[in-house]
Chain A
Amino acid sequence: MRQRLINRRPERRVGVFLAALPFVLLLIAYSLGSDARLAENPSDKLLPSFSSIGDAIERMAFTENKRTGEILLWVDTSASLIRFVSGLLIATLVGGFFGIITGLLPYMRASLGTFFSVLSVIPPLAILPILFIVLGLGETSKIALIVLGIAPFIIRDMILRVEEIPSELMVKAQTLGASTWQIAWRVVVPQMLPRLIDALRLSLGAAWLFLIAAEAIASQSGLGYRIFLMRRYLSMDVILPYVAWITFLAFFIDWCLLKLQQKAFPWFAASRSG
């Protein structure tokens, strides 16, 4: 009898091929479309050829600006990454702290649980104008948008994860003489750290969204700023590589977090699958 489809798995090499296939198809489709459009109108800007994209990359990433001596891609990347990483760090600290104490202490849950639930349904972009008014147009408001955008999710996720700790473990800790502080510090926090990384990974997409949005609206540098600036000139040859670069950065940060989790918490993967 033939094996069912759900039980058939590709070999390793076939797997690599299958993983690459969609990307290759996308590139082929793009180049066909680009060629067709350029054949009709050589000055078409919508689907630039690979060579003009290459020129744009050369211009943005490897050539110093004549006036300032800066390389634009790196200026944009570092500006964006500083905002992004600061936002993530603050959101992680705030989210981890409030999530854990709210999940652990019934009194905190009684007073803050509903508050955080309400907070988390406010669309962060709707309060961006408030942030601009209150915090000005500088870095603070952009970082604040990222924090306000993802911290509520992290808090709520942490509350759920803390509540998921088997009650047996909490009783056990108490029978070892642990105080509330000791349970928090030796039992709950260490078990939450790898889950905090999970929550952070899941909120990366939203964090990028808020970063690009804030940069698009009011900024003088950054990847989002550049893309929206280039839109005015229909410079698809710059926008496309920038999007690819952002995608790569997002993927790389996610990968780094995964590796950090595996390295720092070797017990976690095993205990989760068990």
Chain B
Amino acid sequence: MTAVTLRNIWKEYGDNVVLERIDLDVEPHSFVALVGPSGCGKSTLLRMLMSAEVPTRGEILIEGEPLPADPTAERGVVFQRYSVFPHLTVEENVLLGLELQTSRLSCKLFGGAKRTAMDQARSMLEEVGLGHALKQYPSALSGGMQQRLAIAQALIMRPKVLLLDEPFGALDPGIRAEIHVLMRRLWQETKMTVFMVTHDLSEAFHLGTRVIALEKDRTRPEELERYGAVIKHDLDVWPPKLSDLEAHETVDSEATDDI
């Protein structure tokens, strides 16, 4: 259960202001969907949350503490592409996080520790529906399976915050509906706080408990560079989708609509 606070965040690249005056208080166990037109800086905001970029001004707090300068294990990520390691099998991809945690130098586990970690990785992969593909390399997986793997790989670290950068944007509608159900269930079970960038409004309202729309205030050509995007809309999705049962019902009905 992790609260995230953004205080007056600005992001500028040289003279180009991308984001300005971003103030946000996110409740623990929220599912925040970030939407907006292309280039509005929603991915930049997410990259700042994962410490891959530094805000020009302002601060980001996680549970009241300033964000570390490097990406950390408490903030998991799933990107649209390049989320999994091509040189590791499905099983090894999920195992990697556990190995890195426990074995700082050799990065490999042996004996009992290895078996425990392996069981953990396998049950996580069962959870996301990849129990049958343990020995395959990611290149042999479909797009949907790769994203399931990326989710499993991130969640094995038990992150407090999960950051999703258009994770389902490249998937077919049917596959996307299935993975939405999975995502919702995992979010309920783990109680983590999720930020998801998406360009799909229905996805945003479907999964999110809160939808943040970023957009530039000023759109005259000569102003475009000097004014960044701000939070244009901040919508609580009602009713809050906190009940597991209810969540499954709505998703199932909409999933069949999609197909």
Chain A residues packing against B (C-beta within 8 Å): 166-169, 171-179, 181-182, 185-187, 190-191, 265-268, 270-271, 274
Answer yes or no: B210 CB below 8 A from chain A CBs. no
Interface of A, helix, strand, loop or mixed by DSSP: helix
Extra 11 A-B pairs, beta carbons < 8 Å, given A176-B73, A271-B139: A168-B77, A171-B52, A172-B79, A172-B85, A174-B72, A175-B75, A177-B72, A177-B157, A190-B87, A267-B87, A270-B139
Number of interface residues of B (CB under 8 A): 33
Chain A: which residue is nearest B108 at the CB level? A186
Interface flags, B118-157, vs A, CB<8A=1, else 0: 0000000000000000000111100000000000011001
Q: A177-B97, A270-B140 are in contact. Are A172 and B77 (CB under 8 A)?
A: yes
A185 CB → nearest B CB, Å? 6
Contact of B72 among A175, A182, A270 (CB under 8 A): A175
**How near does chain A come to B77, taking the closest CB pair, in angstroms?**
5
B76 in contact (CB, < 8 A):
yes
A182 to B104 CA separation, bound complex (whole angstroms) = 7
The answer to whether B82 touches A168 (Cβ under 8 A) is: yes
Which of B81, B100, B138, B157 is the most central at the interface, judged by chain A CB atoms within 10 Å of its CB?
A: B100
13 contacts between A and B (CB under 8 A): A166-B81, A171-B50, A171-B77, A172-B83, A175-B154, A175-B159, A179-B100, A182-B104, A182-B107, A191-B86, A191-B87, A266-B137, A270-B140
Q: Does B96 contact A (CB under 8 A)?
A: yes
**CA distance in complex: A271, B75 (Å):** 27
The answer to whether A267 and B86 have CB atoms under 8 Å apart is yes
Task: Please tell me if B219 contacts chain A, counting CB pairs below 8 Å.
Answer: no
A125 to chain B, nearest CB (A): 38
Task: Given A182-B100, A182-B104, A186-B107, decide whether A175 and B71 contact each other with a Cβ distance below 8 A.
Answer: yes
B81's partner among A168, A174, A178, A182 (CB-CB below 8 A) is: A168
| Interface pair A166/B96, CB less than 8 Å apart | no
B86 touches A271 (CB 8 A): yes
Distance to closest chain A CB from B126 (angstroms): 20
Whether B73 and A175, one on each chain, are in contact in the complex, defined by CB atoms closer than 8 angstroms, is: yes
Give CA–CA (A274, B142) in the complex, Å.
11
**B17-55 to A contact mask, C-beta < 8 Å, 1/0:** 000000000000000000000000000000000101000
CA distance A5 to B153 in the complex (A): 47
Q: Say if the beta carbon of B189 comes within 8 Å of chain A.
A: no
Q: Which residues of A contact B79 (CB under 8 A)?
A: 168, 172
Asked if B107 and A185 make an inter-chain contact with CB atoms under 8 angstroms apart, the answer reads yes
Among A179, A186, A267, A271, the residue within 8 A (CB) of B96 is A186
User: In the complex, how many angstroms separate the beta carbon of B114 from the nearest chain A beta carbon?
Assistant: 15
